[in-house]
Structure 1
C-alpha cells in the first residue's frame, strides 16, 4: 500500500517520494518532508543501513513510521466511515501533524434531528439568513416536514435517535426513501423534496466538521421528480369567472377577485401584497421585486387589473389566507360549466403509477393562476423573455415547465379537413 522511491536517480541528491495505493482508488505520491539525501545511499526502496550508517537508519525509521501511520490511518478511517479516505483527506491529515489517536478521537456524537431542529430554529428566528434575507415560509415548512418524517421513521425503526454519522451509509438513506415510499405512500415529488432537504442538512454537517462527506454527493445519489398533471384556465373560462355575479355574496365576490389578481398578474402567493401596493390608475406597468428570486417583475396593467383597482378604489382589502382561497375557489369554479368536465391525473405514489379522474375545478390550486397567465401569453405569441419579465423567472427552462398548452383543435380540424379537398 505504501512504498518509497527516488524520482531521478541520475542526480547526486534527491528527495524521497512516498507512493500510496489506496484500495479501489488511484494511487498518488508526494515528497516526504525534509528527506533530501545522497542518491548513493538509497537502495531498493529504502535507505542503505548497517554499520556506520546511523544517519541513514534515522531516516529509514522516519519512513517506517510514515508507512505505519498511513496504514493505520486508512484502516481506522474505513472502520469509522465504511469508505476509504480521498487523497485530499489523507494529505490534510498529514499536514495537521496529528496522531491517528488524535484524529479519530470520538467527539460528542451529534443526533441528526438535533442538527435539523437547531438550524431550523436559527432560521425561523432570523439568527441565520439566506443571502441577507430571512428564509421563506415555504422553506421553513419543508424543514418541519422533514422533522416530522424523521421522527416517524425513527419510531417505525424502533430507535430513539439516529446519529449524524449513521447517515454516511447509503443503506440508511435508502431505508428512509423506502419508508417514505411504502409506509407513508408519498408521491415521487414529495419524496424528492424530503431527500433534497435531508441532503442540504447533511451538507451543513460537513460544513460544520461533524461528518467528513455528504453521502448524496459522494455516492452520486439521484433524486427523481416527475411532471405532475395540472390544469390551466382557458380564455373563455377567464371571462366566465370574471362575469360570475356575486352581488348577493360579498364573501365569494372578494375570493373571486383575489384569484383574478393571481390570474392576471402571474404572481406567486408571496408577492400578492407587493403587487396590490403598486397597482395605480396612471401607469401601464406595475413593477415590484419578487420575494423568492429578487428579480424585478413588470406586470402590464391588464384591463381586469384596472377594473379591480377601480372597484376597490385602489385600496385593496387584506388578502384571505391561501387555505381559504384554495378551498373556496374550487366551489366558485363549479359554477362554470366547462370546469365540471372530467380530467385524468397521473402520478407516482407509493412507488406505483396512479391514475385518477377528477373534475377540472377540483384540480385548481393557487399556482394554477400563474401557469394560466404564462401559458396564455405564450400561446398568444408573446416571446418567452417578455413573459419572464412578468413572472420574474430567472431561467427559461423553469418558465417552460409552466406552459401547459392545450391542443388547438379548431386549427387541427381546419388543416385536416383541408387535406380532403
Structure 2
C-alpha cells in the first residue's frame, strides 16, 4: 500500500536540513528532497511536520507548504488512477520534478492568462531567489490579487490581454484604472511589481518576447510609507504607567520596551534566551538576515530582564501583540494628534489620527533607531543593528523632523566649536 511521509534524514544535525518526501510503493521507496529546510530540533518525526514552537518563525509557512505538496501528490495520484495509469516511483519523481520547476511540463502555455495562473500555482513551492526562503503567504496572496485585478480591468475595458499587449499605453491605462479604484500609491506600485515579476519569469522561459515592460517609464509608483516613532519621553510614559491590574497589557508593554531599547525585530525579540546574554551584552543571530548583532543591555532593558528573571513573556503572535499594544498606548495616553498623509486615487489626502492608533510592533525598532540617532550614536554602528545597507536608506527609516535635525546640527556645532573658543 502506498504511503506518504515527510522526513529529515539527519535528526542529529545542528544546521537546517532538507525536508524530504518519502513515498512507499510496497517494497519500493522514493526519497525526494524538497527545497524546504528546517532545523532538526524543530521537526516532529511522528507528525511529519514542523513543531508548533515559537523558536521557528517560519513554522506556519513550512507546514502550509508541506500540506500543499501532500495535496498535490494525492491529487496527481487520484487523477492518474481515474485516467487508468499506475503511478510508480519514476512517474512520481517526474511529476515532482515538474511541480518543483526542475523540468518543464510538456503542455505548452499559450497566453498571458495561462502563464499567470501557472506562476501562481507554482508559488506554492517557489523560493525567493534573493533570500533562499519559501515565499510567504502574504506574497502568494498579493499575486492572486494582482491577477484578479488585471482580469477585472480586462472585463471593464472589454479586452483580452496577451503578452504583446503589455505596452506603455497599457501601463498608463492600467495605472489610471487602479487610481480610479482609489488605491494607495504603494498598492498600485505593488500590482506593477507583481506583474513585472510574472513577465520577467515568462521572458526567462522564452515564452514572452515583448520587452516593453522593461522600459524606464513602466515603473512601480511608490511613496514613503507613513509610520511613527516614540521619543524617549513617550517611552518613559509607557515605562512609568501602572498596568498591575492587567497582566496582558503589562507583559505587552514590557516586551515593546525591550524592543525599543534593543532595536530587535519582533521575530528576534521573541527568541531571546538567557544564554544569549553575557556580561550584559545580548548577542543574537537575526532571523531575517542571518547576521549576528551584539547589543548592550541598556537600563530599562536590564530592569525588565531582571523583573522576569530572564524569563520574559515571549509566547505571543505578532497579530495579538499589535492588538494589545494599541490598548497599552491608548491607556497610557499616547494620544498626540498625528497627520497621516497618503496618496490615494492619485490625490494627496490628509487623515488625522491619535498616535496610539498608528503604533505597531515595528514602532519599537524604529523608535530605537530614531532615538539613538538623535542622541548622537554613530550612524554606522546603528546600521549594524538595523541592517540597513546604505546611510540614505537608514535616514529614510528613522523619524527625525527638520526642527530636530536643526537642533542636532546646533548641538554638534557647539560641541566642536567650544575648544576653539577656549583656545582664544
**CA deviation vs aligned residue, 1:361-386 (integer Å, no higher than 9, x gap):** 11212222221111110111111101
Alignment-derived partner of residue 351 in structure 1: 346
CA–CA separation in structure 2 for the residues paired with 1:233 and 1:151:
39
Alignment-derived partner of residue 178 in structure 1: 176
How far residue 342 of structure 1 moved from its aligned partner, in angstroms, is 1.4
Describe the shift of the 1:180–1:271 C-alpha distance in structure 2 as closer, same or farther (beyond 3 A). farther
Superposition pairs of residues 242-391 of structure 1, within 5 angstroms:
242-274=239-271, 276-277=272-273, 282-337=278-333, 339-391=334-386
Gaps of 5+ in 1: 1-105, 416-421
Describe the shift of the 1:279–1:384 C-alpha distance in structure 2 as closer, same or farther (beyond 3 A). farther
CA–CA separation in structure 2 for the residues paired with 1:319 and 1:395:
34
**CA deviation vs aligned residue, 1:298-325 (integer Å, no higher than 9, x gap):** 2222222222322332233443222222
CA–CA separation in structure 2 for the residues paired with 1:298 and 1:179:
48
For residue 231 of structure 1, give the secondary structure of its aligned residue in structure 2.
Answer: coil
Alignment-derived partner of residue 233 in structure 2: 236
For residue 316 of structure 1, give the secondary structure of its aligned residue in structure 2.
Answer: coil
Alignment-derived partner of residue 116 in structure 2: 113
CA–CA separation in structure 2 for the residues paired with 1:167 and 1:312:
62
**CA deviation vs aligned residue, 1:220-272 (integer Å, no higher than 9, x gap):** 42323222443211111111112222222111112212222321222223333
Given the alignment of the two structures, is residue 145 of structure 1 paired with residue 142 of structure 2, yes or no?
Answer: yes
Alignment-derived partner of residue 399 in structure 1: 394
Describe the shift of the 1:291–1:396 C-alpha distance in structure 2 as closer, same or farther (beyond 3 A). farther
**CA deviation vs aligned residue, 1:119-160 (integer Å, no higher than 9, x gap):** 31122xxxx4535732353xx413312312421441353289
Q: 381-390 or 318-327: which moved more?
A: 318-327
CA–CA separation in structure 2 for the residues paired with 1:284 and 1:227:
36
Aligned 8 A contact 2:123 2:135 in 1 = no
Gaps of 5+ in 2: 1-107, 412-424
Decide which structure has the larger Cα Rg and report it: 1
Describe the shift of the 1:287–1:130 C-alpha distance in structure 2 as closer, same or farther (beyond 3 A). farther
Aligned 8 A contact 1:232 1:404 in 2 = yes
Describe the shift of the 1:219–1:400 C-alpha distance in structure 2 as closer, same or farther (beyond 3 A). closer
Task: Return the TM-score normalized by structure 1.
Answer: 0.63
How far residue 219 of structure 1 moved from its aligned partner, in angstroms, is 5.3
How far residue 332 of structure 1 moved from its aligned partner, in angstroms, is 1.4
Describe the shift of the 1:272–1:411 C-alpha distance in structure 2 as closer, same or farther (beyond 3 A). closer
CA–CA separation in structure 1 for the residues paired with 2:131 and 2:349:
42
Aligned 8 A contact 2:166 2:212 in 1 = yes
**CA deviation vs aligned residue, 1:12-55 (integer Å, no higher than 9, x gap):** xxxxxxxxxxxxxxxxxxxxxxxxxxxxxxxxxxxxxxxxxxxx
Aligned 8 A contact 1:188 1:348 in 2 = yes
CA–CA separation in structure 2 for the residues paired with 1:242 and 1:306:
13
Describe the shift of the 1:176–1:207 C-alpha distance in structure 2 as closer, same or farther (beyond 3 A). same
Describe the shift of the 1:216–1:232 C-alpha distance in structure 2 as closer, same or farther (beyond 3 A). same
CA–CA separation in structure 2 for the residues paired with 1:244 and 1:324:
21
Describe the shift of the 1:153–1:129 C-alpha distance in structure 2 as closer, same or farther (beyond 3 A). closer
Which of these residues, 195, 198, 208, is aligned with residue 198 of structure 1? 195
CA–CA separation in structure 2 for the residues paired with 1:395 and 1:136:
25
CA–CA separation in structure 1 for the residues paired with 2:377 and 2:258:
20
Task: Return the TM-score normalized by structure 2.
Answer: 0.63
